[in-house]
Amino acid sequence: MIKLGIRGKMILMVTSALIIAISAAAFMIRDLVYNNIYDQKITTVEILTESIIHDIKYEKEKHAEASIGNIISKYMTYYRIIQDMHFYDRDHIAIADSIKENIGTKTEDPDISNAITTATPSLSITGSDNKQLAIRSIAPVLQGSKVVGAIVLDISISDIDELISNINKRIAMILLITIIVASIALFFMLRRGMLTRLSHLVGVTSEISTGNFNIKVDDSAQDEIGVLSQAFNHMAVELNNTALENAELYASLEDKVKERTAALEGAQQRILNLEKETTEKQMAGGFAHEMRNALAGPMILLDKASGADESGNRIGLNMENSHKLKEMYLILTDLLSEEALKPILDKMKSIFSNEEKLDEILTMVKSSVSRSLAITQQIMDYAKIGEQSHQNKLLYPDELIRGVVEDYREQFSLSNIGIDLHIGAEDVTILSNETQIYSVISNILINAKDALADNTNGSDANTKTCTIGLFTNCCEEKYVVKIQDNGTGMSPETKGKIFNTFFSTKPDTGTGLGLSIVKKIISNYGGAIEVESELGIGTIFTISLPIEKNNGTKAIGHRDEL
């Protein structure tokens, strides 16, 4: 069995993630392209059918039924995508056909019969393999309210298969190039920036384990590994001094060895934890940064294509085209007769409909891109947690929590959810960042609201009062906040995963970063967060933070200032 090192595992993980992400995106794009092409084919068939029916009705009105064959010949000549075309009269007999042998024959096709007898049009896919696929359009021809026949069109769509095959080849090429470039970049980045230094540190650790306490780690960098190396050197000096002192105290040597061994194991564990945290932040921050850059350009183009003016009126390119079509029609009404304007009006209606559909598609794409940008910002914020310790100030958490509750009370009441606030530590201060603590409380409140909203959709929605309780107090030099709801609750399996990065119980709207960010923020301030939950009963989050005594420093949010 092949054993991979840290570098190999990281490259394998990132490469696997890239393969999955690009493959998923590629399949989605391919499906979108296929559906778009198919919809365009359907639209083309409908337009051709309406145009042919218009020409046939015109010839019928002139009682020139013999020229229907000329109409079929004209369309077969000008539109190469038409495979076959047939016209059947009220007796189900082909009186005009692109296949001469079929003229005069009677059809037994139930769809054609249905079109003639009930004036019901139909669209269907025909063909036994990809090269013979076609769309069959059957439409009745009316004169007034009377059905005089039915037109049948067979439109080829075999070109779709060739286009999808070319897209698959390009996707495979992009995926291969991306994997190769990412693997090479990761290989050199990890080797230069981390693995060589860690290998040296592990070698020094081995030396110390043999009793060589005079060895020194030569790493003066000011990053996390450099700080760890300095701490390691200090530990080595201390171990050396301890060994000299304990030479005269042989009886206590065994206890000292056990103590230092435990310290060494702790240092090694800290190395692993630091490596994991640093890698996670680098990967998350780098990925989010690149994704934001990649999405910013398309977002600008989407804003231009589907924008709005200061009054909220749509001024996108599609709406502009629609207005120009209307203006063009108004100009033509003065130049052409009503009969000549009719086919132009039909074409313009079709174009206007397509512009509206395209505008809807652009709006949906813009919404998706906006959500993607918001998610990348969350990931970047997650990667930066812990870099704002210099912004920590004394604050009164009760007043901050009171403000959070007031900010959300009206919004929650619209969903028939009440917030029951019980303040019990008004004079307590903590050292933290006001914005981050606000984010922690609001995040848990919103999760509680979602749980209650889910609960109101259940069978007991009319019998269960929806309330969020929020309690604060002091306990053993800790400031404690409890937030509880009587929502849906969680299973033990879900409860064990809620603080994992990217785990979410709301895959359609959530990113899985909310509670992992909450836990990271609380941990950075030396606090702890616990959760109790039971399915059908509800959930309780308990947050504890160390109290910081106020020695006269002005704190944020004192109630006397409000």
The DSSP secondary structure of 490-552, one letter per residue, reads: --HHHHTTTTSTT--S-TTT--S-HHHHHHHHHHHTT-EEEEEEETTTEEEEEEEEE----SS
What is d(CA 513, CA 502) in angstroms, rounded to the nearest whole number? 5
Is pLDDT at 336 greater than 90 in this prediction?
no
Q: Quick one: average pLDDT of 20-32?
A: 78
In the prediction, which pLDDT does 131 show? 61
Burial 113-140 (b: 16+ CB within 10 A, else e): ebbbeeeebebeeebeeeeebbbbbbbb
Q: What is the length of the chain?
A: 562
More confident residue, 294 or 398: 398
- 474-522 tens-digit pLDDT: 988 899 999 999 988 888 898 888 888 777 776 555 555 678 888 888 8
pLDDT at 310 over 50: no
Q: What is the pLDDT of residue 485?
A: 92
Bigger pLDDT: 71 vs 214: 71
* The pLDDT of residue 183: 74
The Cα 57–Cα 81 span in angstroms is 23
Mean pLDDT of 333-341: 78
Place of tokens 């794409």: 365
**pLDDT at residue 381, as a whole number:** 65
Asked if residue 289 has pLDDT above 70, the reply is no
Cα–Cα distance for residue pair 31/58, rounded to 1 Å: 41
350 neighbors 51 (Cβ within 8 angstroms): no
- Where do the H-state alpha helices sit in 335-491? 338-383, 397-413, 434-455
Structure confidence at residue 152 (pLDDT) = 92
Task: Return phi, psi of residue 81, to 5°.
Answer: -75, -10
Three-state secondary structure readout of 359-387: HHHHHHHHHHHHHHHHHHHHHHHHHCCCC
Vertex 238 angle, CA 236 and 241, to 5°: 110
Share of the chain above pLDDT 70, in %: 76
> Is the pLDDT assigned to residue 325 strictly greater than 80?
no
Mean pLDDT of 63-73: 77
pLDDT of the residue at 561: 46
The whole-model pTM stands at: 0.41
pLDDT at 180: 83
Q: What is the pLDDT of residue 321?
A: 75
Q: Is the pLDDT of residue 377 over 90?
A: no
Q: Which two tokens stand for residue 407?
A: 């900010």
Compute the distance between CA of residue 401 and CA of residue 407 in angstroms, rounded to an integer.
10
pLDDT in tens, 263-286: 888 788 767 766 766 666 666 666
* Average pLDDT value over all residues in the chain: 78
Sequence-ordered list of residues with C-beta below 8 angstroms from that of 498, at least 6 positions apart, any chain: 490, 505, 515, 531
The stretch 209-229 carries a mean pLDDT of 75
Angle at 362 between CA 358 and CA 367, to 5 degrees: 150
Confidence of residue 422 (pLDDT cuts 50, 70, 90): very high
Query: Higher pLDDT residue, 520 or 554?
Result: 520
Percent of the chain past pLDDT 90, that is, above it, reads 12
- Is the model's pLDDT at 393 over the cut of 50? yes
Residue 554 binned pLDDT confidence (cut-offs 50, 70, 90):
low
pLDDT of residue 473 exceeding 80, the answer is: yes
Q: Which residue has the higher pLDDT, 202 or 450?
A: 450
Q: Is pLDDT larger for residue 259 or for residue 422?
A: 422
Q: How far apart are CA 157 and CA 125, in angstroms?
A: 9
Give the pLDDT of residue 542: 95
Amino acid code (one letter) for 496: G
pLDDT at 459: 46
pLDDT band of residue 380 (cuts 50, 70, 90) is: low
